[in-house]
Amino acid sequence: MVSQLQLSSLTPTPSRTTQNEVRWLEWIKQQDDPYPALRVFSENYHYFSINQAVSFARLFSVIPAHDRDSLVFLADMLHQELGQGKSDTVHSVIFERFAKAVGVDMSKLPLAADQVVEGVRWYACELDRGFGGSLPCALATYQFVEGSGIDTYAPLLGILRDIGLSEEDLEFFTLHAEVEIDHTAIAANIVERARETFTPEQNQAFNTQKWLLQRAWEQFWGDILLACQRETSNLAVSN
């Protein structure tokens, strides 16, 4: 199935790394005690993690029934995301092990929507709307999510290793840093084939959705950065 999607023929997609994401990564590296900030990050990212998997499933309602190559791959990808039939290897469960390792009170998870920072909530809503929209919107959302993953996980994994977290605790990030490379390439191929038949109006809808997601992704990291900074400042005052 993967060979039919011709991974090797693809060119890389542009970076979706945001300025706020870079700022957050640089800020985390400078903290003498990064754990309070990592707890804030974990609580918010967990909300995104559990919701994006459900939103992703909506993509199946817009992929043409005759496009069996795409459907087979997407089904396999969702199967991986949901632990390949094993509840203890669902990706959001693996992430919870990281959250526990950095000291998150697990009884707080999952956060309610009104407890999540606005940027994370907006991005999660935009994914749900995009995956459940028209074919151009759904494919733009799919490609953006995969591309943003490949831009995020590798640099974050390096920083978390430098902090001293164990490889067991970092399984979520190690797994995604590896699989997102192939996932991003296959997503690009699926999108490229679909766009061959797009009308100008569909291409406009595709590009508009990418633009909206970029804005939401920027605020996602900007609001996480502000929440982390606020937490560390509050702790400094209380101590």
> What is the chain's mean pLDDT, rounded?
89
| pLDDT mean over 11-37 | 81
50 vs 12, higher pLDDT: 50
CATH superfamily of 23-238: Heme oxygenase-like (1.20.910.10)
The pLDDT assigned to 16 comes to 55
15 falls in which pLDDT band (50, 70, 90)?
very low
Q: Are 15 and 210 in contact (CB under 8 A)?
A: no
Summarised one tens digit per residue, pLDDT across range 75-130 is: 988 888 888 888 888 999 999 999 999 999 999 999 999 999 999 999 999 999 99
Categorize the per-residue pLDDT at 10 as very low, low, confident or very high, splitting at 50, 70 and 90.
Answer: very low
Task: Tell whether pTM > 0.75.
Answer: yes
Kindly state the average pLDDT of the residues 195-211. Answer: 96
Looking at residue 63, the DSSP 8-state letter turns out to be: S
Highest mean pLDDT among 57-61, 71-75, 152-156, 226-230: 226-230
pLDDT value of position 239: 67
Higher pLDDT, 89 or 135: 135
Give the length of the chain.
Answer: 239
pLDDT band for 148, please (50, 70, 90 cuts). Answer: confident
Count of helix runs (H) and strand runs (E) in the chain: 8, 0
pLDDT at 238: 77
Structure tokens at 193: 């084939």
Provide DSSP, 97-157. HHHHHTT--GGGPSPPGGGS-HHHHHHHHHHHHHHTS-HHHHHHHHHHHHHHHHHHHHHHH
| Residue ranges of domains in the chain | 23-238
Does the pLDDT value for residue 6 go beyond 60? no
Q: How confident is the model at residue 182 (pLDDT cuts 50, 70, 90)?
A: confident
Gap between the Cα atoms of 178 and 9, Å rounded? 19
| Average of per-residue pLDDT across 15-41 | 90
Residue scoring higher pLDDT (189 or 9): 189
Mean pLDDT of the 172-178 span = 90
Whether the per-residue pLDDT at 32 is higher than 90: the answer is: yes
If pLDDT is split at 50, 70 and 90, which confidence band does 179 have?
Answer: confident
Distance CA 136, CA 204 (A): 9
Q: What are phi and psi of 148, to 5 degrees?
A: -65, -30
Sign of the torsion angle spanned by Cα atoms 20, 21, 27, 31: positive
